Amino acid sequence: MTTAQAGSAATAALNTEQRAFNFSAGPGVIPEEVIRIVQQDLWSLFGSGIGALEHSHRGKEFDRVLEEAEADCRRVGNIPDNYRVLFLQGGATTQCYQVPMAFLPEGGTADYFETGKWASDSINQAGLYGKAHIAGSSKATNFDRIPDDADIRYSDNPTYVHFTSNNTIMGTEWHRMPPTPPGDAWFVCDASSDIYSRPIDVTKYGFLYAGGQKNLGPAGTVLVIVRDDVLERQVRKLPWMLDYKLQAAKESRYNTPPTFGIYLMGQVFKWIERQGGLKAIEKYNKEKAQVLYDAIDATPFYTPHARLHDRSLMNITFKTPSDELDKKFSAEAEAEGMFNMGGHRSIGGMRASMYNAFPIAGAQALAQFLKDFAQKNG
């Protein structure tokens, strides 16, 4: 068999092989029609005879990739002209320290909401550069909720206010903006696991960031949306790769950027538009989540982790009556083609992550499995 024949056979196998329902919290599901496009573009991008992984980040083909990715990102999110769109490396965890490194002055205070592991990581890293004030916390109830407005206390003069919009591990989500902070403080949002899962008013934020591996594309690429005046507030000289102003001036490519990550994000933005935009995506995500929450709530056999009105549309977390049954549930679900159901080690139980591209058929299959498992083991 020639190399070309082997490649054709492999492609045919890929096109017929049944895909599993992947409930992974990240990396998450990529839209299947995007995967088909990628298959072709890995061979030849824009008819160039060179694949998407191989083009120079200074060449005209990647110029087009970057231009389209930013334009589509702006159009999908209705991002105003006074915001920069950056595609950076290092994932969202890098932003935990890069944000305070850039904007928190020595001796200054930034306010943080303590709502889960990733929020706690950001609080930890802020302490390297200034003071992190806890404006609201749900730690006392094992992060099962978003703090109520009545329990929020801002510091007197915070530089910025940071919150994590969706808490992947705990299955909670901000369905409102936090109260307006004092002075000229601006909101920083880690939107890694619900970015572009619903309409967003970018003008309410000074700075948003999101790791790409849940709703946007591959791991290792992070989207940053930052207001122009915030860029001018960098308080210290930064290393080249961590300097937001420099990255903005260089169109996200001070050095070789994550070219494939940017390409794939661009394809996902186009896919979102083909689905009808963020309003249509939100409707679909609500339908999927409701299918599972209805199945969980239908029997006392399951205990959801998140408080009712703080439940995430992206990550549904719950337990059976025992650790043994939790393990049995995950094992039997996998045998039925439903993978990565195990909850995070910090809370156990199960977690069904259903990002934008996750099919409703998977939610329906899991809902039926929930019902059957409870009947057999209750």
In sequence order, which residues have a C-beta less than 8 Å from that of residue 211 and are 6 or more positions away? Answer: 26, 91, 92, 93, 192, 219, 221, 222
Q: Let me know if 186 is a catalytic residue.
A: no
Please give the backbone phi and psi of residue 143, each rounded to the nearest 5 degrees, phi first. 55, 45
- Which of 41, 72, 111, 118 is catalytic? The answer is 118
Q: How buried is residue 327: exposed, middle or buried, by Cβ count under 10 Å (0-12/13-18/19+)?
A: middle
In sequence order, which residues have a C-beta less than 8 Å from that of residue 27 and are 6 or more positions away? Answer: 213, 214, 218, 219
In sequence order, which residues have a C-beta less than 8 Å from that of residue 127 and are 6 or more positions away? Answer: none
**What's the token pair of residue 361?**
């058929």
- Which of 41, 186, 214, 288 is catalytic? The answer is 214
- Which of 72, 111, 190, 326 is catalytic? The answer is 190
Q: Let me know if 118 is a catalytic residue.
A: yes
**Mind telling me the catalytic residues?**
118, 190, 214
